[in-house]
Structure 1
Amino acid sequence: MNASTEALPVAVIGAGPAGLAAAAHLTGRGIKPLVLEAGAAAATAVREWGHVRLFSTWSELVDPAAEKLLAPTGWTAPDGATYPSGADWAAFYLQPLADVLGERVRYGATVIGVSRLGRDRIVDADREQQPFTVRIANADGTEERILASAVIDASGTWYTPSPIGGDGLPALGEKAAGDRISYRIPDLKNPATRARYAGKRTAVIGSGASAFTALAYLADLAEAEDATGTHATWILRRGISGSTFGGGSADQLPARGALGLAAKAAVDNGYADAVTGFRTDAIQRGSDGRLILVAEDGRRLDAVDEVIVLTGLRPDLSFVSELRLGLDERLQAPVELAPLIDPNQHSCGTVYPHGVNELSHPEQGVYIVGMKSYGRAPTFLAMTGYEQVRSIAAHLAGDQEAAERVELTLPETGVCGGAGLFDQPAAAEETSGGGCCAAPETLTVGAPAPSSGGC
């Protein structure tokens, strides 16, 4: 911060886990945050997947600086060994934290643009002496401008899911078939949602934890007496290999490992069929209204009633387009962070804990944190976001030693995947001898998974 801007607040975009943790760390450093949340309450996005249970325990979901703020209010930390749902996380931690921050959190404030005051991204003159200008659309339809000394973008990626198309674009016909397509894990405890999938054939597209969860939910539904005929077709763009179902019992986050095992059980028990190497090119609607998925290679699948698309999320960079960001051309993550998280290269072990050095941009004073910092890369953990904002708050307070100090050890994934094999249909056919990070062994669905050694 410079003398002309240090009296201004630090604008934090998003009152989710990373945004509220950033506000807590800034407050602890004597820096005034202003958290701008588009929703009417804290953790709006988390509440939308509130029916899903996290694979991290409470001990990994509460930020230390936030806990310090909450302690004087009589707040009691939940049992650290238990696993909350998204709804629990919002109700018992995130909303209480926002309440403690009080007027430092502003609801119904959608950020529609960020720039330097009087400087578009082209202008160099006195650029870094100008405060940031944050344009807001209020819930009542009015707009206003807020000045800030720095900007921490913790807006996440929840509202920009990736489409079906294997080329990163919507498949032909995807928009027209929108009435039968969902981009979320279904809440099958909701009667209307349950009725949508019970007794139906559903295509689940994706290969991560969200797809595992959807498959497990649909398998549970298929076992219900009133849901006869419920069946899933699991569509993977790559082949099935030893790493397809995650780390299993080798995962140091046991609940995460269990998701992969549940997905495998859904296939083994006949509740789901796996279709591999299938990159969707088009969606056609049959005469009965059901959907037919067509691959780039011309393969056509049997018609399904519903499609659940869980192909990842991507950052919305539209409202920060006037800032000079240094983003990796593939992942859309900060250039210094990208090599640490790139699924084309990163295989097993931990993601090195990172902070202000990896998250800085050519535009000084702007930081993208939390899920959004990973761009299009998967496997983000809440504790990673907490370490990010701890480091950034220390930097903004002038404590560079603390900013560069690593205060986090991440759990091992328990998965050894092949470098360069991410999302390749041929990956299942490739094998290599030895080594932690050799190409994964082929896994036959229905057979026991090969054991994975530690990295």
Structure 2
Amino acid sequence: MTYSAIPLTSSTTQQTNEGASLPVAIIGAGPIGLAAAAHLQERKIPFIIIEKGLVASAVTSWQHVRLFSPWKYNIDAAAQRLLTQTDWQQPNEEKLPTGQELVEKYLGPLAKLFKDYVYVKHEVIAISRQQTDRMKTTNRQQMPFEIITKTENNIKTFMAAAVIDATGTWGNPNPALSNGLFLPAERALHEKIDYSIPDITAHKERYINKKIAVIGGGHSAINSLIQLVALKKRYPDTQITWVLRKDKVEQAFGGGRDDQLVSRGQLGLRIAKIIEEQLVTVITPFRIQSIEELQHKIHIKSYDAQRIEVDQMIVNTGNRPNFTINHELRFEVDAITEAVPALSNLIDPNLHSCGSVDAHGEKELRQLEKNFYIVGSKSYGRAPTFLMATGYEQVRSIAAYLAGDMKAAQQVQLSLPETGVCSSDQGGCC
């Protein structure tokens, strides 16, 4: 694949001063970013992938977690077509991969196909139009995008004809406080608070025979609790408290036996049994007003003056998008969900489960800034209902549009399993 020999379509064409066509820049080398690359490659549209860490680094951070969706929902169609042209061994589509298996058996091999166009350890710090700030309109759409990155040693600039922001939300967690604010007292406790789904076995010394509070009502919190209960069975003095905002703990159990994703339903059934066996203390509703450290203990206070004292906290309250890199672009997000505006009513977690999200693509993701798209879990803002299959359909539609194939771009289809609270809280992991 020689990019200088491949012209872009009229809908995407931007050129350097030397006349060479510019690529589409994909920001983020996670599942959705790599899927975007696969669709662009099939359409012979040049691209680069810019990643602040390593390929699939977010997935690697929860590699010990087993997804509740099987392989058939986690492999993008274009990526599959490209991989089958190699010696890749396709996993059993009905099996449930762990994060590690997702990287080793799919994302890693896929990234190798694009190795000449992937820039790892390049953190994007800003995106703009060349010679054009957010305020300027004249000739705006004719100017290429400038993507400013920071590496270990210097600042580098890339130019692109289009930008697909697939940076996700992982690594930008919501705080423990119910008012949504990250206050200094919570930040000061970073050594005693984990915002991921920790690998309890690998870090058991942190939790053995300690008092631990798990904050959150989604599947990430349930995964953390199940791991802690396994530890408690070996170390009975370990005390586990589950702190929820919900009126009743049963609201966190999800679809159970009615869930078309069996593993997702089983999570709810397992935690229900754990609660029944009194292996975890549940406090709900508990809306956190403040946390502080006193005499080496974390003191958690609710708005109605309830108090909890623990040694460690696991905060699994979801994630939120970070739009810092986008501020010189003309983009919009919903005022409530921080999702791409056209998606907001489709994905309100108070109204929809994963399976009820309508199919959507380039048209719904289109921004005021031509040829700029926010995709993946970042397109959902703070809504915790994102599935990888949704992101794969998003980037398929966008690639078709950038190739000038309007019919394919508009014919979006998406089939997702119904029922269950589809909150993975993992930034698009499952």
Task: Tell me the alpha carbon deviations over residues 293-318 of structure 1, each in whole angstroms, 9 at most, x when there is no partner.
Answer: 001222212x1111100111001100
Give the alignment of 1:420-431 within 5 angstroms. Answer: none
* Counterpart secondary structure, 1:326: coil
Matched, 1:44 2:57: yes
Q: 1:344 Cα deviation (Å)?
A: 3.6
Which of 184, 189, 209 matches 1:177?
189
Match of 1:433 in 2: none
Provide the identity percentage. 45
Counterpart CA distance in 1 for 2:269 and 2:183 is 30
Equivalent position to 1:372, from 368, 378, 389: 378
| Matched residue, 2:99 | 86
Other structure's SS at 1:111 match: strand
Partner of residue 155, structure 1: 167
Q: 2:340 aligns with which of 334, 338, 362?
A: 334
Q: TM-score, normalised by structure 2?
A: 0.92
- Decide which of 138, 142, 150 is 1:137's aligned counterpart: 150
Match of 2:242 in 1: 234
Summarize deviations over 1:391-415 as a string: whole Å, max 9, x none.
1000111111111112321110246
Contact preservation (8 Å) 2:25, 2:47: yes
CA gap of 1:44–1:348, structure 2 versus 1, over 3 A, is: closer
Preserved contact between residue 353 and residue 420 of structure 2 (Cα < 8 Å): no
Partner residue in 2 for 1:267: 275
- Cα deviations across residues 153-206 of structure 1 (Å, max 9, x unaligned)? 11111110111111110256212222211101120221xx11111211110000
Question: What is the rounded CA distance, in whole Å, between the counterparts of 2:354 and 2:197 in structure 1?
Answer: 26
| CA–CA separation in structure 2 for the residues paired with 1:158 and 1:207 | 17
Contact 2:249 2:284 in 1 (8 A): no
Larger displacement relative to structure 2 (304-313 or 276-285): 276-285
SS of residue in 2 equivalent to 1:114: strand
How many residues are paired up? 408
Quote the offset at 1:72 in angstroms: 1.7
| Change beyond 3 A, Cα 1:217–1:317 | same
Q: Does 1:103 align with 2:136?
A: no
Instruction: State the SS of the aligned residue for 2:356.
Output: coil
What is the aligned partner in structure 2 of residue 398 from structure 1? 404
Q: 1:47 to 1:241 in 2, by over 3 A?
A: closer
User: Are 1:215 and 1:266, in contact at CA under 8 Å, matched by a contact in 2?
Assistant: no
Q: Corresponding residue for 1:449? A: none
Partner residue of 2:8? none
In the aligned structure 1, how far is the partner of 2:361 from the partner of 2:224? 33
* 1:378 positional shift: 0.3
Per-residue deviation, 1:135: 0.5
- Equivalent residue for 2:46? 32
Q: Is the 1:25–1:393 Cα contact (8 Å) retained in structure 2? A: yes
Within 2, Cα distance between the matches of 1:17 and 1:371? Answer: 11
Change (3 A) 1:89 1:338: same
**SS of the counterpart of 1:178?**
coil
Deviation at residue 247 of structure 1 after TM alignment: 0.7
The CA deviation string for residues 201-259 of structure 1, in whole angstroms up to 9 with x for no partner, is 110000111011111111111112xx121221111112116532111111111111111
RMSD of aligned alpha carbons: 1.6
SS at match of 2:310: coil
| Counterpart contact for 1:243–1:415, Cα < 8 Å | no
Deviations 1:243-285 (A, max 9, x none): 3211111111111111122222222111111111211111132
Question: Is the 8 Å Cα contact of residues 18 and 382 (structure 1) preserved in structure 2?
Answer: yes
What 5-or-longer segments of structure 1 have no aligned partner? 417-455
Distance 1:119 1:172 in 2: 37
The letter of the residue matching 1:107 is V
> 1:211: which partner in 2?
221
Matches of 1:28 and 1:347 in 2, distance apart? 32
Q: Indicate the residue corresponding to 1:304 in structure 2.
A: 310
Q: 1:50 to 1:348 in 2, by over 3 A?
A: closer
Alignment of 1:1-20 (within 5 A): 1-5=11-15, 7-20=21-34
Taking structure 1 as reference, are residues 388 and 346 closer, same or farther at Cα in structure 2, changes over 3 Å only?
Answer: same
Q: Of 177, 200, 204, which residue of structure 2 is paired with 1:194?
A: 204
Q: Which residue of 1 aligns with 2:425?
A: none
Distance 1:186 1:2, change over 3 A: closer
- For 1:135 and 1:285, the matched residues in 2 are separated by 39
Written as runs of structure 1 = structure 2, the 5 A alignment for 1:273-312 is: 273-287=281-295, 289-301=296-308, 303-312=309-318
Q: Which runs of 5+ in 2 are unaligned?
A: 1-10, 423-430
| Corresponding position of 2:6 | none
Instruction: State the TM-score, normalized to the length of structure 1.
Output: 0.87
Q: Does structure 1 conserve the Cα–Cα contact (< 8 Å) formed by 2:354 and 2:416?
A: no
Letter in 2 for 1:246: G
Q: Is the 8 A contact 1:172 1:281 kept in 2?
A: no
Distance in 1 (CA, whole Å) between partners of 2:155 and 2:361 is 33
Distance 2:156 2:418 in 1: 45
Instruction: Output the amino acid matched with 1:202.
Output: I
